[in-house]
């Protein structure tokens, strides 16, 4: 199921709805910020004094991400790859228990913003990113790549945005360092429209590789 160019939306089958996350190609789109409920750490700074990952951490070569691990919420799961629909919206993960990496962006650990999208729930109950909103600054996020490298990220900020104000450029744009953003739906569920009113975004930055 897909939608025209718009902020990410989640629908449920029946009285619930499937996730429909964000339109991409960030350079072409700008949305006003509508931040609420933000929790954050000070932004990371590299040795040159510019925003970046942990000092001395180098970015890695492009490689398909295979698994995602978030110890703080007991999550360890395989990843699928997501492309674009014919109308230039991002594809929705087919499995409610398996998130997807947006393959036209950087892979985790490369320079720029890598993005992983996942469902929050379905008519059957909680889905893979149900507990994403409970993450705290300082929590770790690990992604294993196909070439054997494991990239380690630290949560810097957890934010909730109204869908009409989803910050596409902030989530998908390149900010001069290696970032990983995790996106799902959240906030109040409007039973009249069958939509969540907000999106949850977890912002992380690369701190090490192994």
Res. 187: pLDDT tops 80: yes
pLDDT at 105: 96
Dihedral (C-alpha) 62, 63, 64, 69: value to the nearest 10 degrees?
-100
Higher pLDDT, 38 or 179: 179
Degrees, nearest 5: CA angle 77-82-88: 155
Burial of 2 (0-12, 13-18, 19+ CB in 10 A): middle
Q: pTM for this structure?
A: 0.77
127 CB contacts (<8 Å, ≥6 apart)? 96, 97, 118, 119, 120, 121
CB burial of 84-120 (b: ≥16 within 10 Å; e: otherwise) equals: bbeeebbbbbeebebbbbbeebbbbbbbbbbbbbbbb
Q: Could you report the per-residue pLDDT of 21-78, keeping only the tens digit for each?
A: 333 333 333 222 333 334 544 443 332 333 445 656 889 999 999 999 999 999 999 9
- Domains, the chain, with CATH or none: 9-209 (2.40.260.10)
Cα torsion through 2, 117, 34, 193, rounded to 10: 40
Mean of pLDDT values over 136-155? 98
pLDDT at 56: 64
pLDDT tier at 115 (50, 70, 90 boundaries)?
A: very high
pLDDT average, residue stretch 171-175: 92
Position 26 scores a pLDDT of 34
Top pLDDT among 17 and 56 is at 56
**Dist. CA 200–CA 129, nearest whole Å:** 10
Q: How many CB atoms lie within 10 A of CB 72?
A: 14
Mean pLDDT of 86-100: 91
* Mean pLDDT estimate for the chain: 79
Instruction: Give the confidence band of 196 by pLDDT, cuts at 50, 70, 90.
Output: confident
Q: What is the mean pLDDT of residues 194-208?
A: 92
Answer with the residue of higher pLDDT: 1 or 138.
Answer: 138
């Amino acid at each position: 199921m897909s939608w025209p160019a718009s902020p990410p939306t989640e629908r449920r089958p029946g009285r619930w709805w499937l996730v429909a996350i964000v339109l991409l190609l960030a350079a072409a789109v700008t949305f006003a910020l509508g931040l609420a409920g933000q929790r954050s750490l000070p932004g990371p700074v590299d040795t040159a004094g510019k925003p970046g990952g942990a000092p001395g951490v180098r970015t890695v070569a492009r490689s398909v991400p295979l698994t995602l691990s978030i110890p703080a919420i007991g999550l360890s799961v395989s990843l699928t790859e997501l492309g674009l629909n014919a109308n230039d919206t991002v594809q929705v993960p087919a499995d409610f228990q398996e998130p997807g990496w947006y393959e036209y962006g950087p892979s985790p650990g490369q320079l720029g913003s890598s993005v992983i999208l996942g469902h929050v729930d379905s008519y059957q109950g909680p889905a893979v990113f149900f507990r994403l909103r409970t993450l705290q600054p300082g929590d770790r996020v690990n992604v294993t790549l196909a070439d054997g490298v494991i990239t380690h990220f630290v949560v810097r900020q957890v934010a909730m945005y109204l869908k009409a104000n989803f910050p596409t450029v902030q989530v998908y744009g390149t900010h001069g360092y290696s970032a990983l953003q995790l996106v799902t739906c959240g906030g109040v569920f409007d039973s009249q429209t069958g939509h969540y009113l907000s999106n949850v975004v977890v912002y992380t930055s690369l701190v090490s590789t192994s």
